Structure 1
Amino acid sequence: MSTPAFKQLETTDIPFLMDVYNYFVVHSTHSFHTEPVTLSEFTDSVIHPNSRYQTYVVQLDGKPQGYVQIMPHKKKQAYDPTGEVTIYLHPECVGKGLGSASIQFIEAIAQKRGFHSLIATVCADNAASIHMFTRNGYQQCAYYREVGFKWGRFLDIVTFQKIIS
């Protein structure tokens, strides 16, 4: 397999990445959106006014495969040392090591930007993401029961954390 590359998000990347995200909205419980997001909603979720928080396109052989981002964990200032990590990859890319490469990439970015801790929140149904985060040194720090409701059933979420500094 080729080595993954990462580039800073450009507005021209947004429609493809929105399609990747909306695939999981429609076909899985990985996203807690129950309806596909609009271009405006998705753009707001991947572009942050503070340059400390950014979205990167995951590429393989120069082609976009998905995205990884570091965003604020919470809006209160005391949370500033902690970032929230999100990864969405095209469904055909899952299981090829791009998730782990994305985690390692975003951790290096986070360390350079002075983050102390990274958080990832995952639907408890998402065994692949849970395995990916634990394999990369994240520890489960919370389990919330029945906090989401999609497709006629309640969903649990699991929160993972890694101290990186």
Structure 2
Amino acid sequence: MIRSVDLSDAGEIVSIYNDYILNSVVSFETEALTVEEMQKRINDISSCFPYFVYEKDGHIAGYCYAHAWKSRAAYSGTLETTVYLAPEYKGLGIGRELMERLISECRALGYSALIACITACNTDSIGFHRCLGFEKVSHFKRVGYKFDRWLDVVDYELLL
């Protein structure tokens, strides 16, 4: 079931996200977050933008949201997207359902474009976004450093 996020979801969301922080280059954060930090982020984002969770068997299987791509007013029609799944729920179509709901909501709200910022070596995410209609629009080289290596970032865009 897809539903809007609630602050009470922060514990499960932070658990999902911290796994990416600590064990992958998917996120460029390097320090695990607390539940309180995640609650603040959820509140800040969901008060202005769409933020959804996928609840399965009484647990959060994944989540996605959109947020401001850049802070200047001229960019207000463009949002950046984020989607994360708990490892045991990957490959079941949950990410696609979440993103389709997010895209639909952003379109209904009148946004013009969505940007997905992806670590260039994350071929699963690149393929996933391409299947949703996102197209590659940039490639930044050596802009992130994590786990003793430089990382490239690519941006994929979906025009609504």
* TM-score range for the pair, normalised by the shorter chain length: over 0.9
Q: 2:150 aligns with which of 146, 149, 154?
A: 154
Equivalenced residue count is: 160
The answer to whether the Cα contact below 8 Å between 1:46 and 1:69 also exists between their aligned partners in 2 is: no
Residue 41 in 1 paired to residue 24 in 2? no
Residue 132 in 1 paired to residue 152 in 2? no
TM-score scaled by structure 1?
A: 0.90
Match of 1:87 in 2: 83
Percent identity, aligned pairs only? Answer: 28
The answer to whether the Cα contact below 8 Å between 1:46 and 1:54 also exists between their aligned partners in 2 is: no
Task: State how 1:38-117 maps to structure 2 within 5 Å.
Answer: 38-48=34-44, 51-117=47-113
Q: 2:12 aligns with which of 5, 9, 16?
A: 16
The answer to whether the Cα contact below 8 Å between 2:62 and 2:95 also exists between their aligned partners in 1 is: no
Secondary structure of residue in 1 paired with 2:70 = coil
Q: Separation in 1 of the partners of 2:35 and 2:72?
A: 27
What amino acid is the match of 1:77? A
What amino acid is the match of 1:158? V
Q: Separation in 2 of the partners of 1:33 and 1:51?
A: 23
Q: Separation in 2 of the partners of 1:64 and 1:39?
A: 15
Q: Separation in 2 of the partners of 1:132 and 1:146?
A: 23
For structure 1, which runs of at least 5 residues remain unmatched after alignment?
Answer: none
**TM superposition shift of 1:51:** 3.5
Q: Separation in 1 of the partners of 2:25 and 2:146?
A: 7
Q: Separation in 1 of the partners of 2:7 and 2:37?
A: 14
TM-score scaled by structure 2?
A: 0.93
CA RMSD of aligned residues (A): 1.5
Q: Separation in 1 of the partners of 2:53 and 2:45?
A: 18
Secondary structure of residue in 2 paired with 1:47 = helix
The answer to whether the Cα contact below 8 Å between 1:86 and 1:120 also exists between their aligned partners in 2 is: yes
Deviates more, 1:32-41 or 1:126-135: 32-41
Kindly tell me: are residues 49 and 31 of structure 1, through their superposed partners in 2, closer, same or farther at Cα, counting changes over 3 Å? closer
